[in-house]
Amino acid sequence: MTIAFPKPDEAVLARRREIVEGLGRLVASEALIVSEDERRAFETDGLTAYRQMPLAVVLPSTTEEVSTVLRFCHEHGVKVVPRGAGTSLCGGAIPQADAIVLGVAKMNRVLDVNFESRTARVQSGITNLGISQAVAHEGFFYAPDPSSQLACTIAGNIAMNSGGAHCLKYGVTTNNLLGVTMVLLDGTVVEIGGEHLDAAGYDILGLVCGSEGQLGVVTEAVVRILRAAEGARPALFGFERVEDAGACVAAIIGAGIIPVALEYMDKPAIQICEAFAHAGYPLDVEAMLIVEVEGSDQEIDDMLRRIVTIAEPFKPKTMKVSQSEAESAAIWKGRKSAFGATGRVADYICMDGTIPTGQLPYVLNRIDEIVKSYGLGVANVFHAGDGNLHPLVMFNTNVPGEMEKAEKAGEDILKLCVEVGGCLTGEHGVGIEKRDLMTYQFNAKDLEQQMRVRGVFDPLWLLNPAKVFPLEGRFAA
Amino acid sequence: MSDMSVHTPRDEQDASNIIREAADKGTLLNLAGNGTKAPMGRPNQTDASISSTALTGITLYEPAELVISARAGTPVLEVMRVLAAKGQELPFEPMDYRSLLGTRGDPTIGAVAAMNISGPRRIMAGAARDSLIGVRFVNGRGEVVKSGGRVMKNVTGLDLVKLMAGSWGTLGFLTEVTFKVLPKPERMATLVIRGLDDRQGIEALAMALGSPFDVTGAAHVPDRDRRGGSTLIRLEGFRVSVDYRMNELKRLLKRFRFMDILEGVGAEALWQSVRDATLLTDQGNRAVWRVSTAPTKGPDFVGQVAQSLDAQWFYDWGGGLLWISTPLDGDAGASVLRDATRTYGGHATLVRAPTEVRSTLDVFEPQSDALMTLTRGIKASFDPSGILNPGRMYAGI
């Protein structure tokens, strides 16, 4: 527990009753959560080691309500922590004692689908999977697929610019977002973009994507929907050496093949996931790749044949192409449940740095050394095609000091990612978790320019202010 | 312009010094590469020019990591040549504006980023901004700033890369850009359907784009007499895959009867003329507009414009990108085009018109008050003295 929250504003805490009453006049009673018991459901997110009880929770049903609430908070100097489903792994939705939580989960409808233009307009509280389900009857889907897609909202996806296992081919949120309706802190409703490609003027849409709830509250989104491929089939490759798996990834891409997914798991991750999902993963290898290709049967056969030929010189110990829908589902179940399955055997923190893929073997060996030096264990699952690592640093909460050690190990791993030319976070966001590491990736001028831009939207630092930027040296203009 | 001083910084520090001094003195700077897009945007008055032409060279290329970095003044053709040698390319197929604008010289990779220049493959592979993963630039304070990096998945901090893309040099002077790249497809084939009017053409494109067959180009070019046209659907990839998908596509679109397959040099030239909008350039002294709208609204949009103007046009991006030429008299069609964007959504940019016409019109689509307030704030946050390409996009920006 080494990450500090800003000291709560005593004056705001003292005015809690007045603030709650003020909000009560703006929204229906069922949209306002005041009691301690009910507020507790919102005290943390996916980063459960950290908890803060908010002043109150507001769950509006319309853009107008969001606007009214934000204007009130702006006028009364009340901080606002926007929230989707609260699945953030970096603490992006963790409240502050002197802040209200503004949740968009009640706004979860599909407003319009246009299959000819391949767009869907949705309210921002809809789940990621909810969009795909709403368009599946025509064979369409929404492409970014974070592992939490069953629960996470598009609002949260936009806030974090979420990715997923299939972004090697389809891109991340920012590449699939055409427009948003966003409410600024002063209550102004802004329409950015629309159903056309490339919004006019400055790319404010691109700026909003990944801004972690610090620029405004998105209430509606227009996303691209895509026609799903005719089929998809994963294949498993097991290797005796980490270096061989890394070289195989480079060789596949070097041959001009961009698989729709290219996932890496190390031995501990394979064993944990196999025990949970019974996916048929090889247990006697050091590294495994899941390579998925899409298309018709004929195209898939052709592509997998090429990939097998490319893989052979790296002497895979196991090569297994999925033979059925059920087998494919099991292979993905193992991968997508990696975090949950690890949670069954240990407490863990999940890091999310990205590295240049050429550094893969070096970085994996260093991660191993780092974690061992703290006397802990690690399981690695990650998107090998784009170098987005997810080392799961395992510890036992009941052993005093172990969590702090895990946090230190995580910090060292992220510094390593930056050192080799990568970044602190590939898809989970900075939140509170990586806030104090930002100075490793950015110098003062880089951060100042970001804060100046942030200040254009929220000069008072009321929107999700505990996150992203180190607490020292903040300014608005 | 001719007696204006031109700075050609040798490195980032040099650029920083030049801009810091300009900010101190209030010297208004025109930001440029080789000037091939100089006749675009709002004409502006500046005191001096800063050009990226001495900032050249590929600084990083890792084919297996699908990433390339180059200094901003590196010619686009040089970047493409280096990529092609390893069987790769820029995914977004950047347009070359020289034919349309009648300019000469080497377009730079910095301008591709600064103007977010894409081409037909944008519908499949995203725009330049989608492939741009890192930038280094000097802001209007003379400070060197970086955003993004060399890895394709990166959500660390605010995405200033996106703001730089398409800001036309009004926020910073780019010194280095990093792009995600993709393998060049083994084979390209184009299905050409003839004889369709605009609405039928766009319908065919929507069917193709709504299929699972990964269409990478979707254009409709009306004949001069407007009774029919050529509807172009492009597939790319491995040979086996393109063959298969082309057969399926023909089956899907069989109710449109007159179909040919076009391949090779002729097909490449055809897509280049779609990409570069040269299908419009032989029309003499006319204005050229570029419109982005929802694909299904394309024909209605054009229909409304053609009621009041002697317009010529063709469609890219499945109907969502309209290239429209209009007579230069009066406002070069601006009020009619802007009426149509209000009705159908999207935005219209005046790409080609003489300076005197561009100086009296909104070259870019006017924005809502709320967006304009944010735009002004963003500009001031990068360039508080307003010295970088002032007025190139909007008055006062």
Summary mean pLDDT of chain B: 96
pLDDT band at A160 (very low <50, low <70, confident <90, very high): very high
Q: Is A132 on the interface with B (CB under 8 A)?
A: no
* Angle, helix A325-336 to helix A338-345, in steps of 10 degrees: 60
Residue A209 and residue B162: Cβ atoms within 8 Å?
Answer: yes
User: A357 lies in a domain?
Assistant: yes
**Residues on chain A touching B187 (C-beta within 8 angstroms):** none
Same domain, A315 and A237: yes
Same domain, B157 and B229: no
Give me the number of domains chain B comprises: 2
Same domain, A305 and A381: no
E-strand ranges in A204-286 read 217-224, 226-227, 232-239, 261-266
d(CA B226, CA B144) in angstroms, rounded, equals 52
Element (H, E) at A23: helix A16-26
Same domain, B173 and B302: no
User: A443 lies in a domain?
Assistant: no
Question: Which residue in B340, B373, B378, B334 sits closest to B357, CA to CA?
Answer: B334
Same domain, B135 and B271: no
pLDDT band at A82 (very low <50, low <70, confident <90, very high): very high
Cβ atoms A341, A394 nearer than 8 A: no
B132: containing domain: 1-184+367-397
Residue A196 and residue B206: Cβ atoms within 8 Å?
Answer: no
* Angle, helix B239-252 to helix A297-311, in steps of 10 degrees: 170
Answer yes or no: is pLDDT of B136 > 90: yes
Cβ atoms A79, A160 nearer than 8 A: no
Same domain, B71 and B85: yes
| ipTM score | 0.97
Weakest mean pLDDT among B23-27, B43-47, B85-89, B297-301: B43-47
Between B285 and A432, residue with greater pLDDT: A432
**Residues on chain B touching A206 (C-beta within 8 angstroms):** 129, 159, 161-163, 165
User: A158 lies in a domain?
Assistant: no
**Residues on chain B touching A442 (C-beta within 8 angstroms):** 146, 156-157
The interface residues of chain B toward chain A in range 29-48, judged by CB-CB distance below 8 A, are none
Determine the average pLDDT of the residues in B190-218.
97
CATH of the domain at B267: 3.40.462.40
Answer yes or no: is pLDDT of B285 > 90: no
Identity of the residue in A172, A296, A441 whose CB atom sits nearest the CB atom of B244:
A296
Which sign, positive or negative, has the C-alpha torsion A239, A245, A251, A253? positive
- Interface probe for B, chosen from A63, A67, A89, A116 (most Cβ of B below 10 Å), is A116
Q: Is A161 on the interface with B (CB under 8 A)?
A: yes
Answer yes or no: is pLDDT of B86 > 90: yes
A461 DSSP 8-state letter: -
Same domain, B140 and B218: no
Determine the average pLDDT of the residues in A405-428.
96
- DSSP letters for B111-153: HHHHTT---TTHHHH--HHHHEEEEEEEETTS-EEEEE-SSS-
CATH of the domain at A243: 3.30.70.3450
Boundary of a domain, candidates A42, A77, A103: A103
Determine the average pLDDT of the residues in A197-224.
97
Question: Which residue in A397, A324, A383 sits closest to A355, CA to CA?
Answer: A383
Q: Which residue has the tokens 């589902």?
A: A329
d(CA A421, CA A300) in angstroms, rounded, equals 34
Residue B147 and residue A422: Cβ atoms within 8 Å?
Answer: no
Answer yes or no: is pLDDT of B283 > 70: no
**Residues on chain A touching B295 (C-beta within 8 angstroms):** 116-118
Q: What is the pLDDT of residues B339-352, one digit of tens each?
A: 999 999 999 999 99
Cβ atoms A453, B160 nearer than 8 A: yes
Same domain, B245 and B291: yes
Torsion, Cα B113 B115 B120 B121, to 10 degrees, reads 20
User: A16 lies in a domain?
Assistant: yes
Q: What Cα–Cα distance (Å) separates residue A346 from each residue in A150, A376, A408, A449, B306? A: 23, 11, 17, 40, 68
Residue B370 and residue A188: Cβ atoms within 8 Å?
Answer: yes
Same domain, B345 and B378: no
pTM over 0.95: yes
The percentage of chain B sitting over the pLDDT mark of 70, rounded to a whole number, equals 98
Summary mean pLDDT of chain A: 95
d(CA B11, CA B16) in angstroms, rounded, equals 9
User: A361 lies in a domain?
Assistant: yes
- Interface probe for A, chosen from B158, B236, B244 (most Cβ of A below 10 Å), is B158
pLDDT band at B225 (very low <50, low <70, confident <90, very high): confident
Cβ atoms B280, B323 nearer than 8 A: yes
Give me the number of domains chain A comprises: 3
- In 3-state terms, chain B is what percent helix, strand and coil (to 5)? 35, 25, 40
Determine the average pLDDT of the residues in B59-78.
97
Using DSSP's 3-state secondary structure scheme, residue B330 falls into: coil
A87 DSSP 8-state letter: -
Weakest mean pLDDT among A163-167, A240-244, B246-250: A163-167
Same domain, A350 and A308: no
User: A163 lies in a domain?
Assistant: no
Same domain, A259 and A310: yes
Cβ atoms B70, B176 nearer than 8 A: yes
A3 DSSP 8-state letter: P
The pLDDT assigned to A461 comes to 96
Strands A287-294 and A347-350: unpaired
The interface residues of chain B toward chain A in range 251-290, judged by CB-CB distance below 8 A, are none
The pLDDT assigned to B1 comes to 44
The percentage of chain A sitting over the pLDDT mark of 70, rounded to a whole number, equals 100
Boundary of a domain, candidates A64, A87, A103: A103
The percentage of chain B sitting over the pLDDT mark of 90, rounded to a whole number, equals 94
A6 DSSP 8-state letter: P
The pLDDT assigned to B159 comes to 98
- Reported residue count of chain B is 397
Q: How many C-beta atoms lie closer than 10 Å to residue A308's C-beta?
A: 15
Answer yes or no: is pLDDT of B81 > 80: yes
User: A170 lies in a domain?
Assistant: no
d(CA B46, CA B49) in angstroms, rounded, equals 8
Helix ranges, chain B (H): 12-25, 76-84, 98-101, 109-114, 122-125, 128-131, 160-164, 198-209, 239-252, 264-275, 298-308, 334-344, 355-358, 369-382
Same domain, A368 and A299: no
d(CA A330, CA A280) in angstroms, rounded, equals 8
Answer yes or no: is pLDDT of B226 > 80: no
Q: Is A164 on the interface with B (CB under 8 A)?
A: no
For the record, the structure tokens of B388 come out as 């970088």
| Phi, psi angles (nearest 5°) of residue B179 | -120, 145
* Residue B272 identity: Q
A395: containing domain: 346-435
The pLDDT assigned to A337 comes to 84
Determine the average pLDDT of the residues in B53-74.
97
User: Is residue B395 classed exposed, middle or buried when 0-12, 13-18 and 19+ CB atoms within 10 A define those classes?
Assistant: exposed
Answer yes or no: is pLDDT of A247 > 80: yes
Identity of the residue in B159, B241, B367 whose CB atom sits nearest the CB atom of A206:
B159
Which chain A residue has the Cα nearest residue B291? Answer: A196
Answer yes or no: is pLDDT of B305 > 60: yes
pLDDT band at A383 (very low <50, low <70, confident <90, very high): confident
User: A169 lies in a domain?
Assistant: no
d(CA A124, CA A118) in angstroms, rounded, equals 18
Q: How many C-beta atoms lie closer than 10 Å to residue A22's C-beta?
A: 16
A354 DSSP 8-state letter: B
Residue A250 and residue B64: Cβ atoms within 8 Å?
Answer: yes
Identity of the residue in B63, B240, B346 whose CB atom sits nearest the CB atom of A196:
B346
The pLDDT assigned to B2 comes to 45
**How far does CA B109 lie from the centroid of its chain?**
12
pLDDT band at A475 (very low <50, low <70, confident <90, very high): confident
Question: Which residue in A332, A330, A374, A331 sits closest to A349, CA to CA?
Answer: A374
